[in-house]
Structure 1
């Protein structure tokens, strides 16, 4: 039986297929830039109060305000990154020399102070077994890519790609500052049309969660890296800036940062520098971890009204699923899910 191409069902199928093709193609074209656009959107949202303040000082000059905000945000991010990058490059060179010497000569003997540690005999025996096998140390360093030029080239290539993404994000900042109100208004209209008035609550949950994650995870991790780096420098740790950056990156995952400064404290203790080891340990326990254990949960769980455990799982799951941008996407998705769950509970009680 022939199909009537002018029937309402056929037209709906054709319209649906057309929309799937158009939106699918659009998604495919823009997919390489989603991370950059997401970072730009997060930066614009977090700094939007400052944008409004500057806009009130310069009324009717939206382009100038957007350009000023773009330059301020880019400089705020770029200048510290450049300083850290140049500092870390020098520290990496120092660390590379040490690693190559260890690979060629083997591990150094344990300091004399280790003999006073608990279970010192077992530790000395295990270390002596590894120390006597220089090939084992080289194999482990090779497995980690520490002696592989290809891994270094891949790392530099990743730095170049991330620099390009950063440039795209900065370019997008201007347009988001300039047309952010219009974009958000249109998004709210579309979301309300499809999801009803509940969409406003979901959008608010997304905004609150993003701000809480920025201040509760990213900034606290940076603060921990800076404070820990200062402690490393005072304690005489080699390459303190490099270790500070490592501490900041590791601290993006809640409660993991102490692994770095505890390990370095044990290293100082093994070298017989008991005073520096104790000082670094106390600095990490009383100052650095105080930021992680007290400020971070308060900043995140307070505004979002979400248990910190869910935020913690959202950070880990987001990083695993989406990469670095998942640091925000994971908690945001959980925040929306919790909002929907609570709305269902309210409807259930009302019903």
Structure 2
């Protein structure tokens, strides 16, 4: 057998072995990809703080452990408090709604009766429901059974998410401790693949990643807080619960109006027109404008990424990867834009 043929067979076998190892590695790590991605996002966003802590404490193990514990407290304690408050307020909401339905005090709002074509039908349906205790009781029992039937699935989901959070924190410790070595290896591998442009690509991608993640989170937190203030002033009984839901919805571009708009419609349906109009005005001129200030300033101002691309990244990432896609989708598109721009600049420089 000639030497070129042997070399070709050797390369083909090497490619097959590497592809097989990569496939098997993916099968082994597939269950931990989401925690690894979350840990990578958290480590990268908080890396400057970790560097300051490392200089103050000395030693990678000590600083990585301390930073992980601090971040765990920042994440776990508010989440535990939020779950407690949400559970309490959600129970109160369901209790009041059930009590109103059972006692018949839940009346059709006046403006519903005046709706052309459907007003009388809606009023008649609600009256039949309220004046037939047997039908109402059966309906409430079906809802209760459905809720209890879902309790096991919810508990299982909470357990799985708690396990993922634990794996995220463990992975985060090692990302802090060995992050510099890992990034050096990634840079070396990229240099073998794309050459001297690696540093420009990595730096541009890093800047865009931090700006996108921070911009999305800050916008959602600000809108959720302002919405909570509006709910409290409007007289809603569960402002913390509603603010938490609004914060989650605010992670999705153009999602916030659906949150405060639904509350305003509820207030209007209950006959509290002044509170409904006030909340609608607060949402239109304050809550929604926060999105127009923070997101362009943090994301578009620093990275010059079109907002449309950020929106596609959030929605597409959510569809493709679940909750982590809210951050991973925009980051992927941001990295693509960074690589594209660096490549164009490199081509111009060479010309």
Specify the TM-score bucket, using the shorter chain as the normaliser: 0.7 to 0.9
**Corresponding residue for residue 152 of structure 2:** 153
Structure 2 unpaired stretches of 5+: none
1:43-70 deviations in Å (ceiling 9; x for gaps):
11111111111222233x2222111111
User: Secondary structure at the residue paired with 1:254?
Assistant: coil
**Corresponding residue for residue 67 of structure 1:** 65
1:90-144 deviations in Å (ceiling 9; x for gaps):
12222333555577688932234667xxx64456335325425649999999999
Aligned residues: 346
Question: In 1, distance between residues paired with 2:340 and 2:136?
Answer: 52
Aligned with 1:131 (options 101, 126, 133) = 126
Aligned residue runs from structure 1 range 256-275, under 5 A: 256-275=255-274
**1:107, 1:137 within 8 Å by CA — same for their partners in 2?**
no
Aligned residue runs from structure 1 range 207-222, under 5 A: 207-222=206-221
Normalising by structure 2, what TM-score?
0.86
User: Secondary structure at the residue paired with 1:110?
Assistant: coil
Following superposition, the deviation at residue 152 of structure 1 comes to: 3.1
CA distance 1:45–1:267, shift in 2 (3 Å) = same
Question: In 2, distance between residues paired with 1:256 and 1:294?
Answer: 16
Aligned residue runs from structure 1 range 22-101, under 5 A: 22-59=21-58, 61-98=59-96, 100=98
User: Secondary structure at the residue paired with 1:339?
Assistant: helix
**Corresponding residue for residue 286 of structure 1:** 285
Is the deviation greater in 335-344 or in 211-220?
Answer: 335-344
Following superposition, the deviation at residue 73 of structure 1 comes to: 0.8
1:244-271 deviations in Å (ceiling 9; x for gaps):
1111111111121111112212222232
**Corresponding residue for residue 187 of structure 1:** 186
Question: In 2, distance between residues paired with 1:232 and 1:259?
Answer: 14
Normalising by structure 1, what TM-score?
0.86
**2:102, 2:136 within 8 Å by CA — same for their partners in 1?**
no
Question: In 1, distance between residues paired with 2:253 and 2:208?
Answer: 16
**1:266, 1:277 within 8 Å by CA — same for their partners in 2?**
yes
Following superposition, the deviation at residue 154 of structure 1 comes to: 1.8
Is the deviation greater in 20-29 or in 312-321?
Answer: 20-29
Following superposition, the deviation at residue 178 of structure 1 comes to: 0.9
Question: In 1, distance between residues paired with 2:302 and 2:143?
Answer: 41
Question: In 1, distance between residues paired with 2:26 and 2:17?
Answer: 14
Structure 1 unpaired stretches of 5+: none
Question: In 2, distance between residues paired with 1:162 and 1:332?
Answer: 23
**Corresponding residue for residue 253 of structure 1:** 252
1:274-295 deviations in Å (ceiling 9; x for gaps):
3322332233233322212221
**2:35, 2:165 within 8 Å by CA — same for their partners in 1?**
yes
Question: In 2, distance between residues paired with 1:139 and 1:248?
Answer: 35
**2:201, 2:342 within 8 Å by CA — same for their partners in 1?**
no
RMSD: 3.3
Question: In 1, distance between residues paired with 2:50 and 2:142?
Answer: 48
> Is 1:295 aligned to residue 294 of structure 2?
yes
**2:200, 2:342 within 8 Å by CA — same for their partners in 1?**
no
User: Secondary structure at the residue paired with 1:196?
Assistant: helix
Question: In 1, distance between residues paired with 2:259 and 2:63?
Answer: 42
CA distance 1:106–1:18, shift in 2 (3 Å) = farther
**1:113, 1:271 within 8 Å by CA — same for their partners in 2?**
no
